[in-house]
Chains A and B, each alone.
Chain A
Amino acid sequence: MNILIIIFIKFVIFILKCFGRKGGNLPGKIAKKLNPDILKYLKIDCPVIAVTATNGKTSTNNCIKSMLENNGKKVISNSDGNNMETGIITAILKNCKINGKVNADFITLEVDENYVPKIFTKMRLDTLVILDFFRDQLDRNGEVETLILKINEFLKTYNGNLILNSDDPNVSRLGKANEDNENVYYFSVEKYEHATKEEKEAGEGKFCPFDKTRLEYDYYQYSHIGKFHCPTCNFGRNEISTKATSIDVKNGKFMVDNVEYETLSNNIYTIYNFTAVITVAKIYELDAKETLKNFRLDNGRCEKVIVNGSETLINLAKNPTGANVSLRMLNEDSDEKELLFVLNDNLADGVDVSWIWDINFDIKNVTRIVTAGKRAYDIAIRIKTTWYPTEKIESYLSLEEAVKALYTTNTKKYVIANYTALQPTRKEIKRMNI
């Protein structure tokens, strides 16, 4: 029966391909309808790595994939970002034999936070990387705490490699879910030049999950990520496996274990992701240095393009932290610039746009702001309320008009777009570049 399902799905993928469709979720959806436990049937003999988080899943998973490939490994991955069960089924079925045998050296997957328990009770998991947990589309995902408890429950019986961001209390606490697991690896990033004494941006996890005491911070890197500890218990004092030091965000350089890593990225948040990648490389005794040097994901994640002579940086922001990270990069850049913010409220974005009020709009050297998207006015009001001059804000419901207006000057541009706004915005910007 399962053989028939796999043959049929491969046929579906082929047909979709003939019509120029990638088939991200549909084949997996059909397979799951035919056998909800199709994942159990697959014969996987290679290590499975999974990355989950609120922010940074796609970038980190793709970077792990590149790292593995650069080390000569054959890798299966859902690098397109389809990170729910159906997307993962599609990615694997595409690359397995009809008897369900998976032919690869590694599988590396990005997995939606909510799907981790569901998927990995059905298939093997060797290494789980958890980067961060922030508030994200509350109307869709609910509270962060509920999600953390769900993953904590799953980890109670998990004994594989667990790579955790020690600087995020929401993630770090998961190292205690299974005291018997000897394969917990914490990574951490040393204080960088723009770290602050006070929290600058809305964050979660202010209280110790074990004894409810307010956590104390030596410094905050961004949002609630930073060096914290509980004053009454030992929470926050982990033995660090991978520590990034000598952080030079401006030049994209840092050190781990006396090796200098060069990157094409200029933000603290990517250095965290890369430190996680280095931890994976260490576990499998592979090299990450060359990969990080050239790694760039050109799909609107810190994507740099030149349009009609203006330097443009496009970045996705699905939640306050995503937007704050972009605005940090904007503020850390001393040049004069203009900002385009595209905000939609489609189902996949979260219908509730009140998260924009958790963005820290303390912006410097921005000479003009263009807003667009289905909620162009909401974001304009948000910006106006920070005393940014109203006459320098232009709002357009039409994205095409907004992008046209943006490129009437050749000042440097920063573009922030939320989930469903990102690809249309990229397309519109690229159309300008003729």
Chain B
Amino acid sequence: MKELKLLYLYPDMLELYGDYGNIQVLKYRCEKRGIKLIVDKYSIGYEAPNFKEYDIVFAGGGADNEQSILSEDLVKYSENIKQAVENGTFFLLICGAYQLFGKYYKGVEGNIIPGLEIFDYYTEAASDRKKRCIGNIITEVELDGEKTKVIGFENHGGQTFNVSTPFGKTAYGNGNKFEDSEEGYFQKNVIATYLHGPLLSKNPKVADYIIQYCLSRKEGTNVTLEALDDTLEEKCREQLLEKFMREK
């Protein structure tokens, strides 16, 4: 049986917006195709993981308090994580985790929370504490040459700058900053984004891109995935795309 290994970072701390659903969707779509998805968890107090051993690393968004506690812990692994990224392990990073992988996060009072410095972008808190990018969002992305609309929900105060290769173009909603034209960060083996929803639940193409990438990498050939019955997802997308574009 084919199998993939996923490392789930800080499940008890980065779990505010149902981001765990991304793992459930990945697991569902893997197992429907006879691929086993093994999920290991890492949090404060656990044994140190070796990031390079994993096909996928996932981290979600959390509350501010939790996020500052764990950033100190995660920085210990920055070298190991850097190697895993270079090695081709897939990283799916949502919201707070997206920010943590950048250079730093600058708070409202100017305090700096250091990031892992894996990527060159950095995040600054919005000067007005009460202002946040909140709402439904549609991002136009291109995965393996195929264009698709990604639907999600954003809820962030941080404004992310200096993104060299964004995940997509904002068609509805904010993106990396207030009223931005771009959203997230992307490279072949990294999707870092503000999109909750959870992201993969309404975007099966993104889920399959990740699974396909990981399997192909593992097997050393270009794997094609068997199609699944996505009637519900397609109906959901059709309804929401129409609804959001109408509200635009």
Say how far A152's CB is from chain B's closest CB, in angstroms.
14
Q: Is the CB of B202 within 8 A of A385?
A: no
Q: Is the CB of B153 within 8 A of A354?
A: yes
CB-defined contacts of B66 to chain A, threshold 8 Å: 207
Is A280 engaged at the interface, CB distance under 8 Å to the other chain?
A: no
Say how far B22's CB is from chain A's closest CB, in angstroms.
9
Say how far B170's CB is from chain A's closest CB, in angstroms.
17
Q: Looking at the complex, which one of A352, A358, A380 makes contact with B155 (CB distance below 8 Å)?
A: A352
A381→B153 CA distance, assembly (Å): 16
CB-defined contacts of B233 to chain A, threshold 8 Å: 377, 381
Is B112 engaged at the interface, CB distance under 8 Å to the other chain?
A: no
Residue of B nearest to A358 (CB): B18
Of B16, B21, B135, B232, most A-chain CB atoms within 10 Å:
B232
Is B177 engaged at the interface, CB distance under 8 Å to the other chain?
A: no
Given A138-B16, A377-B232, verify A145-B25 contact (CB < 8 Å). Answer: no
Count class of interface residues, chain A: 20 to 34
CB-defined contacts of A393 to chain B, threshold 8 Å: 232
CB-defined contacts of B229 to chain A, threshold 8 Å: 390
Given A356-B18, A377-B239, A385-B201, verify A214-B45 contact (CB < 8 Å). Answer: yes
Residue of B nearest to A357 (CB): B18
CB-defined contacts of B134 to chain A, threshold 8 Å: 139, 351-352
Is B136 engaged at the interface, CB distance under 8 Å to the other chain?
A: yes
Q: Is the CB of B232 within 8 A of A354?
A: no
Annotate B15-37 by CB proximity to A: 1 below 8 A, 0 otherwise.
11111110011001000000000
Q: Is the CB of B232 within 8 A of A143?
A: no
CB-defined contacts of B40 to chain A, threshold 8 Å: none
Residue of A nearest to B12 (CB): A206
Q: Looking at the complex, which one of A145, A378, A385, A387 makes contact with B65 (CB distance below 8 Å)?
A: A145
Residue of A nearest to B31 (CB): A387
Residue of A nearest to B15 (CB): A202
Given A138-B155, A143-B16, A393-B232, verify A354-B28 contact (CB < 8 Å). Answer: no
CB-defined contacts of B202 to chain A, threshold 8 Å: 378, 381
Is B64 engaged at the interface, CB distance under 8 Å to the other chain?
A: yes
Say how far A354's CB is from chain B's closest CB, in angstroms.
4
Q: Is the CB of A380 within 8 A of B232?
A: yes
Q: Is the CB of A395 within 8 A of B235?
A: yes
CB-defined contacts of A386 to chain B, threshold 8 Å: 24
Say how far B124's CB is from chain A's closest CB, in angstroms.
19
Is B196 engaged at the interface, CB distance under 8 Å to the other chain?
A: yes
Q: Is the CB of B25 within 8 A of A385?
A: yes
Given A381-B233, A385-B24, verify A354-B18 contact (CB < 8 Å). Answer: yes
A145→B229 CA distance, assembly (Å): 41
Annotate A198-210 by CB proximity to B: 1 below 8 A, 0 otherwise.
0000100011000
A385→B230 CA distance, assembly (Å): 11
Q: State the total of A-B contacts with C-beta under 8 angstroms.
A: 89
Is A426 engaged at the interface, CB distance under 8 Å to the other chain?
A: no
Is A235 engaged at the interface, CB distance under 8 Å to the other chain?
A: no
Is B197 engaged at the interface, CB distance under 8 Å to the other chain?
A: yes
CB-defined contacts of A354 to chain B, threshold 8 Å: 17-19, 21, 153, 196-198
Q: Looking at the complex, which one of A144, A202, A351, A384 makes contact with B135 (CB distance below 8 Å)?
A: A351
Say how far A203's CB is from chain B's closest CB, in angstroms.
10
A386→B231 CA distance, assembly (Å): 16
Of A202, A352, A356, most B-chain CB atoms within 10 Å:
A352
Q: Is the CB of A138 within 8 A of B17?
A: yes
Q: Is the CB of A397 within 8 A of B63?
A: no
Is B69 engaged at the interface, CB distance under 8 Å to the other chain?
A: yes
Say how far A384's CB is from chain B's closest CB, in angstroms.
6
A355→B201 CA distance, assembly (Å): 13
Given A354-B17, A378-B202, verify A145-B63 contact (CB < 8 Å). Answer: yes
Q: Looking at the complex, which one of B25, B63, B136 makes contact with A143 (CB distance below 8 Å)?
A: B63
Annotate B176-220 by CB proximity to A: 1 below 8 A, 0 otherwise.
000000000000000000001110011000000000000000000
Residue of A nearest to B195 (CB): A354
| Contacting residues of chain A (330-353) with chain B, CB-CB under 8 angstroms | 351-353
Q: Is the CB of B236 within 8 A of A381?
A: yes
Q: Is the CB of A143 within 8 A of B64?
A: yes
Say how far A379's CB is from chain B's closest CB, in angstroms.
10
CB-defined contacts of B135 to chain A, threshold 8 Å: 139, 351
Q: Is the CB of B236 within 8 A of A357?
A: no
CB-defined contacts of B64 to chain A, threshold 8 Å: 143, 145
A386→B233 CA distance, assembly (Å): 15
Q: Is the CB of A395 within 8 A of B232?
A: yes
Say how far A112's CB is from chain B's closest CB, in angstroms.
18
Is A97 engaged at the interface, CB distance under 8 Å to the other chain?
A: no
Say how far A6's CB is from chain B's closest CB, in angstroms.
34
Is A382 engaged at the interface, CB distance under 8 Å to the other chain?
A: yes
Annotate A210-240 by CB proximity to B: 1 below 8 A, 0 otherwise.
0010100000000000000000000000000
Annotate B48-75 by CB proximity to A: 1 below 8 A, 0 otherwise.
0000000000000001111001000000
Residue of B nearest to A361 (CB): B24
A135→B16 CA distance, assembly (Å): 8
CB-defined contacts of A145 to chain B, threshold 8 Å: 63-65
Q: Is the CB of B18 within 8 A of A355?
A: yes
Q: Is the CB of B24 within 8 A of A357?
A: yes
CB-defined contacts of A378 to chain B, threshold 8 Å: 201-202, 236
Say how far A99's CB is from chain B's closest CB, in angstroms.
39
- Listed from nearest, the 7 A-B pairs whose CB atoms lie closest are A357-B18, A377-B236, A357-B21, A354-B18, A143-B63, A352-B153, A354-B196
- Can you pick out 11 interface pairs between chain A and chain B where the beta carbons lie within 8 Å of each other? A138-B155, A139-B153, A139-B155, A145-B64, A214-B44, A354-B21, A357-B198, A377-B235, A385-B28, A386-B24, A393-B232
Q: B residues near A, CB below 8 A?
A: 12-13, 15-21, 24-25, 28, 44-45, 63-66, 69, 134-136, 153, 155, 196-198, 201-202, 229, 231-233, 235-236, 239-240
